[in-house]
Amino acid sequence: MRERETNSSVEAAYDDYLMPIWKSLNVPVERASGCTLEDFDGNEYLDVFSGISVTNVGHNNEAVVEAATEQLEEFVHGCSYVHPNRPVADLAETIAEVTPGDLQKSFFCNSGTEAVEGAIKLARKYTGSKEVISLEMGFHGRTLGSLALTGNRAYKQDMAPTINDVAHTAPPYAYRCPRCDGDTCGADCADALERVIGSHTSGDLAAVVVEPVMGEAGIVVPSEAWLKRVRDIAHDHGALLIADEVQTGYGRTGELFASEHFGVEPDILTQAKGIANGLPLGAFTAPAEIADAFGSGDHLSTFGGNPVACAAALATIEELENGIIDTARENGEWLSAELATLESDYDVVGEARGLGLMQGIELVDPETTGPQHVAPAPDKELAAAVGEHLREESNVVMGVGGYYKNVMRFQPPLTISQAQLGEAVDALRVALDDLA
């Protein structure tokens, strides 16, 4: 009989048998429920990161587990692109109903990076063009096509060459924008896209890809004017606007999709992470006219649209629409006010920003000027220390990220209570008192 696992034994197995790419938060997980994680040594943690913004309706959500279990008892796999089945058909119809604009037809895959790659293929097929522009500091995945779109050298080190015909334009990072110096990046900043098209492309533009809120960049939120101007420029050049909502979708920002905050209807919308509350599923969705550019055999996935994952996704959407998004929106407003208070109270908090329950605070060294001589310098060492303090002293799991790795990220299950959010904010305040 196998001895009871411990944190150290599980981590040792990872070291021995997994490729050495895993990152440890020093919280191995044996079980999880709601907003709570439990490790193999019996310690419980408040989770305000939700597996990198995945378990939006809470860990081990009863309705999602029940839906997946019922489908497991029927059949697990038949390749959904060979054998039509009800969960896939129902989910595709539901996504057509809940996505913004006239998005109608979906392709289901297994992950966010696959959704992005498929969206690029569709944009190229529909437009007949090849070039793509994305944002500096953006993140779209780690397969070669998505990696080419990602505007961060840290993810690309030793991985070149990726795909050709990709250029990057400036993000709406107002806190460190030389033009705005902390004010809102508006339509004028978006005009940088015209310069990139004129100088870095051959006039064969298929798509512009943006995250409506930039997660890995550090919870960077554009203005409505900026995003609308980007859309208009893309359309002026015959290109499609692809909204990468892998991280922002399924209620994360207080709307089902973040695009809804800005009144912008994308031409293609990518989804994953929160779509099935932890089961592997991704999708990209487009209007019928664009989607029908694909013909039989143009794209396929053996496991994409797995019926168990699709059943879980249907239950996830129902849970979100039955009040979870409304509550998340209210709690997000409360959290935003609390984080703004931290910005006022601590010099090392350069900026608090976000939407819904996708919030962050940027930690800085107030004595040193930052990149491009705009705003104080990022302090990634302080951010790492704060993350460790939260785990070790308060049993709170919080993400640390951002382009400069200096942003504390609140992305909890949307079922989190205001009292639990308050516990996380209080723990963050204690950490800043002890370390800053």
Question: Which letter, b or e, does each residue of 8-46 get, where b requires 16 or more Cβ atoms within 10 Å of its Cβ?
Answer: eeeeeeeeeeeeeeeeebebbbbebebbbbbbbeeeebb
Q: Is the pLDDT of residue 288 over 70?
A: yes
Give the pLDDT score at 159: 87
**Average pLDDT, integer, range 294-317:** 96
Give me the sign of the Cα torsion angle 124, 129, 131, 132.
negative
What element of type H or E holds 167?
strand 166-169
| Whether residue 243 has pLDDT greater than 90 | yes
- What would the pLDDT profile of 19-28 be if each residue is shown by its tens digit? 988 777 789 9
Domains of the chain (ranges, CATH numbers): 7-60+323-435 (3.90.1150.10), 75-322 (3.40.640.10)
Taking the C-alpha atoms of residue 308 and residue 81, their distance in angstroms, rounded to an integer, is 15
Residue type, 68: A
DSSP 220: B
Distance between CA atoms of 396 and 33, rounded to whole angstroms?
15
Q: Render pLDDT for 110-137 as a digit per residue (tens, 0 to 9).
A: 999 999 999 999 999 999 999 999 999 9
Helix (H) or strand (E) holding 65: helix 62-72
* Local confidence band at 224 (pLDDT 50, 70, 90 cut-offs): very high
The arithmetic mean of pLDDT across residues 409-435, rounded, is 98
> Considering only CA atoms, which of 269, 274, 191, 183 is closest in space to residue 232?
191
Q: Confirm whether pTM is higher than 0.95.
A: yes
Average pLDDT over residues 269-292: 98
Q: Does 420 score more than 70 pLDDT? A: yes
Give the Cα-Cα-Cα angle 396, 57, 213 (nearest 5 degrees).
75
Contact 283, 270 (CB under 8 A): yes
pLDDT at 24: 74
Is residue 1 over pLDDT 70? no
pLDDT tens string 39-93: 999 999 999 999 999 999 999 999 999 999 999 999 999 999 999 999 999 999 9
Q: Is residue 270 within 8 Å of 244, Cβ to Cβ?
A: yes
Could you read off the pLDDT of 338-397 as tens digits, one per residue? 999 999 999 999 999 999 999 999 999 999 999 988 999 999 999 999 999 999 999 999
Which tokens go with 367? Answer: 């004595």
3-state secondary structure 87-134: HHHHHHHHHHHHCCCCCCEEEEECCHHHHHHHHHHHHHHHHCCCEEEE
